[in-house]
Amino acid sequence: MENTPPILVKTASGECPVFVRNGALRSLGEIAAGRVRGRTARVVTDSNVAPLHLDAALSSLRAAGFAAGASVVPAGEASKNLARLAALWDDFHAAGITRRDLVVALGGGVVGDLAGFAAATWLRGVAVIQAPTSMLAFVDSSIGGKTAIDLPCGKNLAGAFHQPVAVVADPLALRTLPPRERTQGMAEAVKTACILDAAFFARIESFAGRAPTDDEQEDVIRRCAAAKADVVSRDEKEGGLRAILNFGHTVGHALETILGYGTVPHGEAVAVGMVAAAKLGVALGVTPAGLPDRIERLLRALSLPTRVADLPDGPARCTPDAVAAAMLSDKKKLGADLHFVLLEALGRAAVAPLRPAAIREKLPSIL
């Protein structure tokens, strides 16, 4: 792929190169041929992405010698369910996908989670390449091997760690996204800056309130990919350090569960969750007093919500009692405690085990 070196994720599961380059999707087949022994591929995508990028993906795979077909699921979070998972297994069987072959997840976070989990569980695990097309997937969900589906009782509760054999990230795909989709993905970039890199936070502040240039956009993707690659390489299965990547997600996932999956985009829910977590940190004496306001200003400049009142039906449905109950179903609950990610400073995070009752007491003021 020309001379752009990939970012490497190195774990016990193997080495995953992350290619970030304009036009990278054209090299999908070339990359796949170098990463798997088989020559049968199944591209999983959704009804929004298929008309835009599926032909290019299939053409690249076929040019590299793959017998490639596609499974198209309805766009939206509602597709992350057991029925869609079972349908993909049927498709893999019909396509003759063996342990030497390949699944390609072409799309945003929903497709990446669903296709990745299907690959992780088909024949006890077949290779998957993540080919993200959304900002959220570029900067976060396509990297690191987390895969999952939603259950009625909570988000991402059934899943597996299944590292991709490669990530093929083509920033040109962002040109096809509606503005709201580009915006919600920036929440995960802000999250990365909050927990790992104060200078990166200032960089985002420098262009918040206007459309970033192509160079700025690629810089955001590369910085986030490199940061996540480093964290995952040191803690593949969230035994310690990787947990900081959940900043804003405990409250965010609770809001998604209450309002219904897909009602509020993931990035928007996480934006509200980050402000809540920052305020909780201040209340507990962990986070500097002025930091929640700075985070909130940046998120608002990026046209992201920052409070429950900004969400459709938020004040009526996301009451403190409802949020507290939803958090108790979160996968980050360990024993009697909720493990909450708090900021010790901008660019430095820590995981704090907190009693649910202590969090419930503070929810009215932080939401």
Q: Which of 253, 256, 279, 296 is catalytic?
A: 253
Of the candidates 187, 366, 148, 174, the residue with the CA atom closest to the CA atom of residue 269 = 187
Buried/exposed code over 125-152 (b: 16+ C-beta within 10 A; e: otherwise): ebbbbbbbbbbbbbbbbbbbbbbbbbee
Q: Which of 77, 238, 256, 268 is catalytic?
A: 238
Q: Which of 222, 242, 256, 296 is catalytic?
A: 242
238 carries an active-site annotation: yes
Q: Which of 218, 266, 279, 296 is catalytic?
A: 266
Q: Which of 84, 162, 228, 279 is catalytic?
A: 228
Q: Which of 42, 162, 246, 296 is catalytic?
A: 246
228 carries an active-site annotation: yes
Amino acid at 256: E
Q: Which of 249, 268, 279, 296 is catalytic?
A: 249
242 carries an active-site annotation: yes
Q: Which residues contact 202 (CB under 8 A, 6 or more apart)?
A: none
Q: Which residues contact 31 (CB under 8 A, 6 or more apart)?
A: 1, 17, 19, 129, 166, 168
What is the sign, positive or negative, of the torsion defined by CA atoms of 237, 246, 189, 264?
A: positive
- Give helix 356-366 / helix 320-327 axis angle, nearest 10°: 140
266 carries an active-site annotation: yes
Q: Which of 181, 188, 218, 268 is catalytic?
A: 188
- The distance in angstroms from the start CA to the end CA of the chain is 46
- Tell me which H or E stretch contains 284: none
Q: How far apart are CA 167 and CA 9, in angstroms?
A: 10
Q: How far apart are CA 268 and CA 274, in angstroms?
A: 10
331 carries an active-site annotation: no
218 carries an active-site annotation: no
156 carries an active-site annotation: no
The Cα-based distances of 78 to 114, 142, 149 in angstroms read 11, 19, 10
48 carries an active-site annotation: no
Of the candidates 288, 258, 289, the residue with the CA atom closest to the CA atom of residue 273 = 258
Amino acid at 302: L
Catalytic residues: 124, 146, 188, 228, 238, 242, 246, 249, 253, 266
